[in-house]
Amino acid sequence: MRLGVVIFPGSNCEQDVGHAARALGIDVGYVWHGDTDLAGYDAVVLPGGFSYGDYIRCGAVARFSPVMNEVVRFAERGGPVMGICNGFQILAEAHLLPGALLRNAGLKFICHAQPLRVERSVCDWLDLPEGTVVVIPVNHNEGNYYCDEATLHRLNANGQVVLRYCEPDGSLRPGGSAPNGAVDGIAGICNERGNVFGLMPHPERAVDPLVGTTDGRPFFTAIVERLAGVGG
């Protein structure tokens, strides 16, 4: 299993993703935004950061990077793609995932360890049981997930809501536990097929015990196991 980590101008979490994945025994390669070939990669991560300075809108310019044509083709063939933070914003701008990420509702850049509830979903990237609570850092200014009512209904009906912001015991406050105003408390979603996954929290920052939590490990290991299973 070889993981491709895409670097856009302004990405700043690609080393963290690479470090985390390698620590878990995953072979990692970096893909430059101008590259037009993903041959040899079994899964792709769009890392966090501020691609193209977040100009126009977060992810709006990165979406038209040459490599994104390949990422779209890769995803359409069923290839696993995970977008973390700015990567999620890019996937939404590229219409690989529905909705958009707005500015946080609470006027604050948020940066803290965030409890998240794993929902029952079709996501290929996560195999944790429904209701599992993981604590993973969030670090963003535009993580306020928005979609219209019809889309939200579809996300819930299809098992596309992967993660919700929650309280430490896994419960949800009335009105939701999102620290950023996200609709229905949504922290992460996948496409209908389950191979494209976008999330605001940073699982790569929760892999090494040195940083206090290893709850991010399954976000990298589940896809390795799944691909190994598919390969025989």
Partner 1 sequence: MARYEVYVTYKQGIFDPPGATAERALANLGYEGVRSVKIGKYIRIEADADLATVREMCDRLLANPVIEDYRIVVEGEA
Interface contacts to partner 1, rule CB under 8 A: 56-57, 60-61, 64, 93, 99-100, 102-107, 144, 146-148, 181
Which residue, chain included where needed, has tokens 């219409």? 95
Cβ closest to partner 1, residue 19 vs residue 154: 154
**Catalytic, out of 58, 70, 119, 202:** 202
Cβ closest to partner 1, residue 60 vs residue 222: 60
At 189 the three-state DSSP class reads strand
Least separation in angstroms between residue 107's CB and partner 1 is 6
**Catalytic, out of 58, 85, 147, 190:** 85
Active site residue 58: no
Contact at 8 Å (CB) between 94 and 209? no
Least separation in angstroms between residue 41's CB and partner 1 is 27
Active site residue 204: yes
Least separation in angstroms between residue 55's CB and partner 1 is 11
Q: What is the dihedral of CA 160, 184, 202, 143, to 10 degrees?
A: 120
User: In angstroms, what CA-CA distances link 39 with 5, 84, 106, 139, 165?
Assistant: 13, 22, 42, 31, 35
Cβ closest to partner 1, residue 32 vs residue 55: 55
Contact at 8 Å (CB) between 180 and 211? no
Active site residue 85: yes
Instruction: Give the up-direction half-sphere exposure of residue 119: CA atoms within 13 A in the CB hemisphere.
Output: 23
> Which residues are annotated as catalytic?
85, 202, 204
